[in-house]
Amino acid sequence: MELQSLIYLFVGISFAIYIGIALWAKAGSTKDFYVAGGGVHPVANGMATAADWMSAASFISLAGIISFSGSFGGAYLMGWTGGYVLLAMLLAPYLRKFGKFTVPDFVGDRYYSDTARLVAVISVIFVSFTYVAGQMRGVGIVFSRFLQVDVNTGVLIGMGVVFFYSVLGGMKGITYTQVAQYVVMIFAYMIPAIFISLQVTDTFLPQLGLFGSTTFAFHDGVKVIPEGTYLLHALDTAVTDLGFSAYTNPGNLTNMFLLTVALMLGTAGLPHVIVRFFTVPTVQDARSSAGWALVFIAIMYTTISSVAAFSRLNLIKNVQNVEYKAFVAGEVKHADGTPNNGNWFKTWEQGGLLAWTDRNGDGKIQYAPGAAFDGAKGKPQFDGTNVGPNGERATTNGKPAENSGKIENELYVDRDIMVLANPEIANLPNWVIAFIAAGGLAAALSTAAGLLLVIASAISHDLMGQVIFKDKTTGKSTLNEKTELMWARISAIAAICVAGYLGINPPGFVAQVVALAFGIAAAAFFPTIILGVFDKRMNKEGAIAGILVGLLSTVGYAWYFIWGGGTPDGYFLGIAPASFGTVGTILHLVVALIVSRMTPEPPQEIQDLVESIRLPNNAGEAHDH
């Protein structure tokens, strides 16, 4: 069967399964909508947590960012996996025993303040929308390539799918949908990885492929790298021959360390992951599901580094110094006589995520450091469907290279396409390429749905139910269950519309946007949550001051240097925006501790409550207060 038909078949079947599950698991109560009724099996919850946590950033973008940044990209792997362990071991059981399933609910009750709750609601919405922007862009990227539509149309289609099973099914529908999405996602990631590991290295296990030897000789544009070279050595040689820094060079270690910490602490403070520990019956089940989730996550995360290396090596091997017209016509062969089919190149060009400009007029693709195009961040601006004299797509901002005596870069590659394009670059069977399309959509849609539900919960449960429609005498919500469920669904619809806009107008590439969300989550939530569990003296004044300082400092720094005209030369101590979340977290912690010590102690019942949630007695029950 031809590729496009297989893609429609695989994606159509997966979508039918997701929608069928949503209909089967339709939420009938607020408990179903918010925490799936609290009765999900730990193994199923572990799968759903893994799918929720391994977003489009993990599936689509993480290997891409490591592929281009080399060892520095390891910060994402260490930060995200380390953060999950931190969350599972240090926070989740205590939050589960406390019995509040949203971060604002925990903050509001623990710090006995509607103001603290409101600040937390605003922070949750800000973090979640930043995060969901990356997911919706991921949806658009996958649709743009595999369903032959533009990115914006792809985002709109994704909005429709997420709308159906998140608004209808709530957390109950999302949980069981995410179990199916995890299965699709992991097979879609691992099958191409195994194929390519066998093709590129001497081992079938992709987790070990990074340490294997190459099975072919190739010309990197400067010299031939012989068969049998260790993969990392071959990659180091190829990229340095072309003028890039060595693949194994970690770059700025300070930024790498701070980014790792920001991602780790941000993971522990992410509201859509925390809520997962309330969808199981007991605290013990929460611990168990956390362990299962770590196993399911590790299957992909131990493979990503190898996939990143395979994709960068394949890109150089297949495109460097090849004649464009013959390449896209499928007439180019490798040195060993195997075909080097460039159909994939032309298809990705049409989506605007890959571009070539023939700066020196020789008709060949030259890959080197530097931007191939002038304009905003070196991205191409396509001029309709016109083509240049050598077959390249005409652009509005390309210009001939000066005769500098060095290779000038002519290739623009959006790093978010590396995982999706890799099976095509490697000329794998059509069914494998179709499968990875279904997997990429599963990854993006699973996390998008979880985040949208967090936003809906923050608005309907925390803002509407616990602040706006709150009885001042009893301290309880005046909304009945039916009205609150209605508000939850209205909030979800509004959130989907905003998420769609952010997906159409993204602030950056997927992993960059997601890293920023994690940094903001670390600075806004982590100290207040951890102090709320382990420091009886922590009070509402400290929490409010800390959250505001952490949130505003991190968002302000990122805004200035990403969108406000700031340049890397002006970084504070050389710290990049994505890494600044660690600084924001420290500021939050220091301010919270100082302010709490200068203001009155919390009420005695709050101090007793904090003491009780750390006691092992009745560990199987949520704390009732």
Number of neighbours of residue 228 by Cβ within 10 angstroms: 12
Q: Which long-range contacts (CB under 8 A, 24 or more apart) does 586-589 make?
A: 587/523, 587/549, 587/550, 587/553, 588/523, 588/524, 588/526, 588/527, 588/528, 588/546, 588/547, 588/549, 588/550, 589/527, 589/531, 589/546
Report the distance separating Cα 187 and Cα 197, nearest Å: 15
Report the distance separating Cα 601 and Cα 613, nearest Å: 19
- Rounded to 5°, angle at Cα 44 from 38 and 50: 105
- Please report which helix (H) or strand (E) contains residue 133, including its range: helix 114-146
pLDDT at 552 over 80: yes
406: which 2 tokens? 């060095």
Options 3.40.50.720, 1.10.10.10, 1.20.1730.10, 3.40.50.2300; which CATH number does 3-310+430-612 get? 1.20.1730.10
pLDDT at 142 over 90: no
Those residues with Cβ within 8 angstroms of residue 149's Cβ, 6 or more apart along the chain or in another chain? 143, 157
Average pLDDT value over all residues in the chain: 81
Kindly give the interhelix angle for 168-200 and 42-53, rounded to the nearest 10 degrees. Answer: 70
Predicted pLDDT of residue 398: 63
| Percentage of the residues of the chain whose pLDDT score is greater than 90 | 18
Q: Is 24 left (phi over 0), alpha (psi -120 to 50) or beta?
A: alpha
Predicted pLDDT of residue 149: 73
Predicted pLDDT of residue 493: 81
Position 349 confidence tier, pLDDT thresholds 50, 70, 90? confident
Give 595 or 3, the one with higher predicted confidence. 595
Predicted pLDDT of residue 350: 76
430-440 pLDDT per residue, tens: 888 888 888 87
Report the distance separating Cα 358 and Cα 572, nearest Å: 39
- Which DSSP string do the residues of 230-291 spell out, in sequence order? BHHHHHHHHHHHTTPPPTT----HHHHHHHHHHHHHHHHT-HHHHGGGGSSSSHHHHHHHHH
473-526 pLDDT per residue, tens: 776 777 777 787 778 778 878 888 887 887 787 665 555 677 788 888 899 889
Predicted pLDDT of residue 624: 43
Those residues with Cβ within 8 angstroms of residue 552's Cβ, 6 or more apart along the chain or in another chain? none
389-431 pLDDT per residue, tens: 777 776 766 666 665 556 788 898 888 788 888 888 888 888 8
Predicted pLDDT of residue 621: 46
In 3D space, the residue among 573, 521, 415, 370 whose CA is nearest the CA of residue 72 turns out to be 415
277-328 pLDDT per residue, tens: 777 888 788 778 888 888 999 999 999 999 999 999 999 988 998 899 889 8
Predicted pLDDT of residue 557: 92
- Rounded to 5°, angle at Cα 64 from 153 and 440: 45
Predicted pLDDT of residue 619: 44
Position 623 confidence tier, pLDDT thresholds 50, 70, 90? very low
596-606 pLDDT per residue, tens: 999 999 999 99
pLDDT at 333 over 80: yes
71-102 pLDDT per residue, tens: 888 888 888 888 888 887 777 778 777 877 67
- Which DSSP string do the residues of 412-424 spell out, in sequence order? EE-GGGHHHHHHH
Report the distance separating Cα 406 and Cα 355, nearest Å: 21
In 3D space, the residue among 218, 213, 247 whose CA is nearest the CA of residue 319 turns out to be 218
Query: What integer is the mean pLDDT of 143-167?
Result: 74
* Domain(s) of CATH 1.20.1730.10: residues in the chain: 3-310+430-612
Give 29 or 139, the one with higher predicted confidence. 139
In 3D space, the residue among 510, 314, 328, 348 whose CA is nearest the CA of residue 423 turns out to be 314
Burial class of residue 308, CB neighbours in 10 A (0-12, 13-18, 19+): buried
Predicted pLDDT of residue 625: 43
Give 555 or 399, the one with higher predicted confidence. 555
Those residues with Cβ within 8 angstroms of residue 372's Cβ, 6 or more apart along the chain or in another chain? 355, 356, 357, 359, 378, 380, 398, 409, 410, 411, 412
Contact in structure between 201 and 213 (CB atoms under 8 Å): yes
